[in-house]
Chain A
């Protein structure tokens, strides 16, 4: 079985470490916050200018001046700080955020990522994604391995306009956990019940398959 959205988030959550500052993108990355292991403390960074994002407010706590980068109303945890967007991107660009998780349309063997623009469709903008991928050393991309039509999203070269060049090293898809190094994909783990053959068939870029590819456990 390919991973559900929740399982994808659970797998990504295993990359967390106690004391990490983490930026989670919109969509599946946001779900990672639900799977922080018991006893572990992480601070969520929201790029509009909040370090220490908490859960959604109750009706009584609702405050128009308290939002996250997705423009949703949120709360702040104890120990949080709030600052300008310039300060926020100084943290991001300066490499101070320990882990960044974001979605993508495509990644390739050179670690390029395309996630913001499909030519011919309305272009709404990149928001903070280009800064996040340029600034972070530890980035996890979450995406489906192939499109609904079966076209691979792990490519020899991205076909869409890039969000960042040579910046992606880890990808968690619904089929596999893949690392990118030396111009190749390296298959590290497979989703429960998914064969190596299926993963290889759905990976357009060159992929190195070790003798043993452990199955993820949930």
Chain B
């Protein structure tokens, strides 16, 4: 049964094998549903020259932003960046490369990568800077551009509940990019809030089946809020 026990007991073990120059896909949208402790572990390891694929790059002192502090990221593939001053500085200084990718195309690149589809046609970005230099094909009279999918050496994922088989469910909109990220890593590492007994998760309600998960660790999370908006009670 040990083959189906994905749980590891330390963050060092969770990220073992990550080396300089590797590509890492990270789940999360803004600061919501980010694998915050796995990111912190990459910072502790000091791994450099990383290509990071994630919708955003955190803020100065939280999320992927912490990897900018010691210049661990060589290239970001994202749809929206620049929520942090360090990012802007390093970009303008030429120390950081950015490949801006439309959000839906980024999600589909991960989904396709994990699903064994090397590329796909999409209308998104045709006629814009995103489409420049890409193959164009017409289908039913409409032009589409060819986008290549993405796989990574490591995928880092944040889920809510998981069992030791690696079956996962996500909580609310913390799902975001996490299910696609989970499929697209050669090694997929998941941080969960709660480890449950096998059988507790209803099989038909599982978001990510355990086949995609290599390692899993139970973490405690700060869950920082980026834009705290509340309404008054009448």
A residues with a Cβ closer than 8 A to B are 46-50, 55-60, 62-68, 70-74, 76, 82-86, 88-89, 92-93, 112, 117, 122-131, 134-135, 161-166
- In the bound assembly, the distance between CA atoms of A76 and B173 in angstroms comes to 10
B125 near A134 (CB under 8 angstroms)? yes
Assess whether B103 is in contact with A85, with CB atoms less than 8 Å apart.
Answer: yes
Name the distance in Å between A126's Cβ and chain B's nearest Cβ.
6
Q: In the complex, what distance in Å separates the CA atom of A20 from the CA atom of B58? A: 34
Chain B hits for A59, CB < 8 A: 230, 233
Q: How far is the CA of A128 from the CA of B173 in the complex (A)?
A: 16
A86 nearest CB across to chain B (Å): 4
Pairs A-B, 5 closest by C-beta atoms: A165-B127, A89-B104, A131-B104, A125-B80, A64-B223
Cβ distance A64 to chain B, nearest Cβ, rounded Å: 4
Question: Residue on B with the closest CB to A117?
Answer: B129
Give chain A residues whose Cβ lies under 8 Å from the Cβ of B104.
47, 85, 88-89, 92-93, 128, 130-131, 135
Q: Are B81 and A63 in contact (CB under 8 A)?
A: no
Report if B180 contacts A (CB, 8 A).
yes
| A89 and B173 form a contact (CB under 8 A) | no
How distant is the Cα of A112 from the Cα of B126 in the complex, in angstroms?
Answer: 11
Q: A128 and B79 in contact (CB under 8 A), knowing A48-B29, A65-B32, A86-B179?
A: yes
Flag if A57 contacts B230 (CB, 8 Å).
Answer: yes
B123, A65: Cβ atoms under 8 Å?
no
Q: How many A-B residue pairs have CB under 8 A?
A: 173
A65 with B174, Cβ < 8 A, contacts A124-B82, A126-B80 known: yes
Chain B residue at minimum C-beta to C-beta distance from A93: B104
With contacts A58-B230, A131-B105, A163-B128 taken as known, whether A71 is within 8 angstroms of B176 at the C-beta atoms is: no
Restricting to B127-154, which residues have a CB under 8 Å from any CB of A? Answer: 127-130
On whether A86 and B111 interact (CB within 8 A), knowing A73-B228, A124-B82, the answer reads: yes
Q: Report the Cα distance A130→B225, complex, angstroms.
A: 26
Question: Closest Cβ of chain A: how far from B20's Cβ, in Å?
Answer: 26
List the A side residues contacting B173 at CB < 8 Å. Answer: 46, 48-50, 65-68, 82
Question: Pick the contact of A89 from B33, B81, B103, B207 — CB < 8 Å?
Answer: B103
Give CA–CA (A170, B11) in the complex, Å.
52
Check A85–B29 contact: CB distance below 8 A.
yes
Kindly state the separation between the CA atoms of A165 and B128 in the bound complex, as whole angstroms.
7
Cβ–Cβ < 8 Å partners of B123 in chain A: 93, 134-135
The interface centre, meaning the residue of B33, B127, B231 with most chain A CB atoms within 10 A of its CB, is B127
Please name 6 pairs of A and B residues whose Cβ atoms are closer than 8 Å in the assembled complex, sorted by A: A60-B233, A86-B180, A126-B130, A130-B102, A161-B129, A164-B126
Q: Residue on A with the closest CB to B234?
A: A58
For the complex formed, measure the closest distance between the CB of A65 and the CB atoms of chain B, giving whole angstroms.
4
Contact B180 A85 (CB under 8 A): yes
Max chain B CB contacts within 10 Å: which of A123, A128, A129?
A: A128
> In the bound complex, do residue A72 and residue B176 qualify as a contact, i.e. CB atoms below 8 Å apart?
no
Instruction: Give the chain B neighbours of A49 by CB distance below 8 A.
Output: 29, 173, 175-176
Q: How far is the CA of A171 from the CA of B126 in the complex (A)?
A: 21
Known A122-B91, A125-B78, A127-B79; further 19 A-B contacts with Cβ < 8 A: A47-B104, A57-B229, A59-B230, A64-B31, A65-B160, A65-B174, A67-B29, A71-B227, A85-B55, A86-B110, A117-B129, A124-B80, A127-B80, A128-B103, A128-B104, A130-B124, A135-B104, A162-B128, A166-B127
